[in-house]
Every structure is written in structure tokens, then in C-alpha cells.
A and B are shown apart, each in its own frame.
Chain A
Amino acid sequence: GAVVSQHPSWVICKSGTSVKIECRSLDFQATTMFWYRQFPKQSLMLMATSNEGSKATYEQGVEKDKFLINHASLTLSTLTVTSAHPEDSSFYICSAMSRRSGTYNEQFFGPGTRLTVL
């Protein structure tokens, strides 16, 4: 149980285009989903926290107009990188928190999406 998928697993796009990444909780309902960004050989940096049915909360320094997050249902959150540029190339990882997690704050992570902007 507690499986999180991401689609696509990798994407290459041209500079100036937009890219949408999906994060799905396959066997549980996720009231909260998180989006992280990871540069090579570095740690995960939290970009935003999204709760189903409400606006995402972005971390300081993350442009919300550039990284659009939609948490439309209890099993799906999407991250859209708008007008992507080469500096947006990174590994994007989502995680989901199950209602069953209780107070343990356990997050279940997706496999990540490798974005390369040419």
C-alpha cells in the first residue's frame, strides 16, 4: 500500500514551453501533497505544499506564477512549469500524506520526474 506515481518519469522540452507533471496516490487518499526539487548531488528542497481543494502554499523564493500547482482531488496533484527555461531543468519529486498517517507525518514519495529544458 501507499504507492505514489508520477507521470511522466522524464520529459525534454524546448525553452518557453510549459510542462505538466502529475502526481497520483494510487491506493490511498492524500489530503496533503508536497512538491520537491532536487538538483544533481543535492538534497530535496520543498517547493510547495498543496491541500486538496485549496491553494498551494509556496516556500520562500518559489515563483507561484511559474510553478502552478493544482490539487484537484484526493488522489491527484499536478505541477505545471510555465515558460520553462534551462535553469528549470531538475528532478522533481512529489510526496503524499495519507489520512492514515496519523500524527507520524509520514510522507510517501513518488519516483520523480526528470525535466530537461533545451
Chain B
Amino acid sequence: AQSVTQLGSHVSVSEGALVLLRCNYSSSVPPYLFWYVQYPNQGLQLLLKYTSAATLVKGINGFEAEFKKSETSFHLTKPSAHMSDAAEYFCAVSLALPGSARQLTFGSGTQLTVLP
């Protein structure tokens, strides 16, 4: 079984400041990890994914995340926040098992507010 914990349901940063959204996972086998962004009344857009290659993953819109096995973490960062980054962010995990059900387990989400 796998699970995801996102610390902080709400995060506020000033425009231009560092964005750090925390995600810790639990998985009995090597995981695949994802970060998604959701704007109001819209579906989810993939920001980036970790699939057992490079531990530092770069995504769209200047976001990146680092897979740290020792800490079971996959925190999302962006050096400089933009007003358009305000949205809900979800961390998700799936099992890296060939032929698995490929289901995603989502964290509870973090609402990012960017202050002018």
C-alpha cells in the first residue's frame, strides 16, 4: 500500500519569494511520484514526475522537486513565486510495478496563495 502526506494545507508566499510545498510518501516498493496543479473548477495538470531516473526533477513553469529516499520526501520548489502560481497543488504516488493497476494515491492538497 502507498500513501502521501502533504504538510500544510495552506501556504502563503510573497511574489518573488521561494515556494516550498512539502510531500512525504510511504510505499512498500519503489514509487513513482507526481506533482499536479489544479486551478479552480479545472482538472489536474502535471507539473513533474519522478520515475526512478534523476532524483532532481524539473517540471513546467519553473518548478522542480527532489526525490530523497532517505527522507521519503518529494518536496516541490520554485525559486521565485508568480501571481499565476496561486492554485491547489497535489502530490501523488503510484507503485512502480509492471502490470500494476497504476492507480494514483493523492495527498490532501496544498493551497498556495501568492501575495503581491
Contact = CB atoms under 8 A, between A and B. Distances in A.
Interface of A: 4, 6, 32, 34, 41-44, 46, 49, 57, 91, 93, 95, 97, 103-112, 114
Contacts of B36: 109
Nearest to B50: A104
15 contacts: A6-B43, A41-B111, A43-B106, A43-B107, A46-B103, A49-B101, A49-B103, A91-B41, A93-B43, A97-B102, A104-B32, A105-B94, A105-B104, A107-B104, A114-B41
Contact of B106 (A44, A103, A104, A106): A44
A109 B44 contact: yes
B49 interface: yes
Contacts of A6: 43
Contacts of B84: none
Interface of B: 32, 34, 36, 41-46, 49, 51, 90, 94-96, 98, 100-109, 111
Given A43-B90, A44-B106, 7 more contacts: A43-B106, A44-B90, A49-B103, A104-B32, A104-B51, A106-B46, A107-B102
Nearest to B32: A105
Given A43-B90, A106-B49, A112 B102 contact: no
